[in-house]
């Protein structure tokens, strides 16, 4: 006799933890092994307060998702970001601006970024003002304060037009 209650008892917290945490099995694999639906496993994980493996889940999503573009995204401001696992300047989600990566591979070191908005921080200026034109010849390495001064003088040219206050 397997009613809801006895089914629930068939996998203990200890066993589930062993399969899910130690053996790193997926919900699907555990469900198959125990003859449950994935739904039951999901509920037990929640009920037993077992920490879901978010990172593993995300990786699965990434690989299985046909919309996955190899970790390249464009921000609302028009900058291109690349998924990069080990980088001192990566965002919380693990992305680094493509123009930073290209400049760094050219100068063969990481940019100096001391703290947020520090005037000695190194930044990359897009010479033609096009923020996704990350050809090395379009990139110029500057300090944050040089960059500010440059833009405040209105030295950004887009289509040969001098634009003031454009930050690129």
Residues engaged in binding Zn ion (CB under 5 A): 125, 168
Closest CB 42 distance from Zn ion, rounded Å? 48
Residue 97 or 168 having the CB closest to Zn ion? 168
Closest CB 127 distance from Zn ion, rounded Å? 8
Residue 44 or 131 having the CB closest to Zn ion? 131
Closest CB 163 distance from Zn ion, rounded Å? 11
| Conformation bin of residue 59: beta by default, left when phi > 0, alpha when psi is -120 to 50 | alpha
Query: DSSP 3-state assignment of 97?
Result: strand
Q: Give me the torsion for CA of 133, 164, 90, 54, rounded to 10°.
A: -90
Residue 41 or 138 having the CB closest to Zn ion? 138
Cβ atoms of 105 and 144 within 8 Å: the answer is: no
């Amino acid at each position: 006799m397997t009613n809801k209650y006895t089914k629930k008892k068939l996998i203990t917290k200890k066993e589930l933890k062993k399969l899910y945490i130690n053996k790193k099995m997926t919900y699907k694999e555990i469900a198959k092994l125990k003859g449950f639906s994935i739904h039951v496993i999901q509920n037990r994980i929640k009920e037993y307060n077992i920490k879901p493996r978010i990172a593993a889940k995300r990786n699965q999503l990434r690989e299985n998702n046909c919309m996955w573009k190899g970790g390249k995204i464009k921000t609302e401001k028009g900058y291109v970001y690349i998924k990069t696992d080990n980088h001192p300047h990566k965002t919380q989600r693990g992305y680094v601006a493509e123009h930073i990566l290209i400049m760094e591979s050219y100068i063969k070191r990481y940019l100096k970024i001391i703290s947020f908005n520090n005037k000695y921080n190194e930044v990359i200026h897009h010479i033609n003002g096009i923020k996704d034109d990350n050809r090395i010849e379009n990139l110029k390495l500057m300090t944050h304060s040089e960059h500010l001064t440059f833009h405040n003088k209105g030295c950004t040219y887009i289509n040969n037009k001098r634009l003031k206050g454009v930050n690129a």
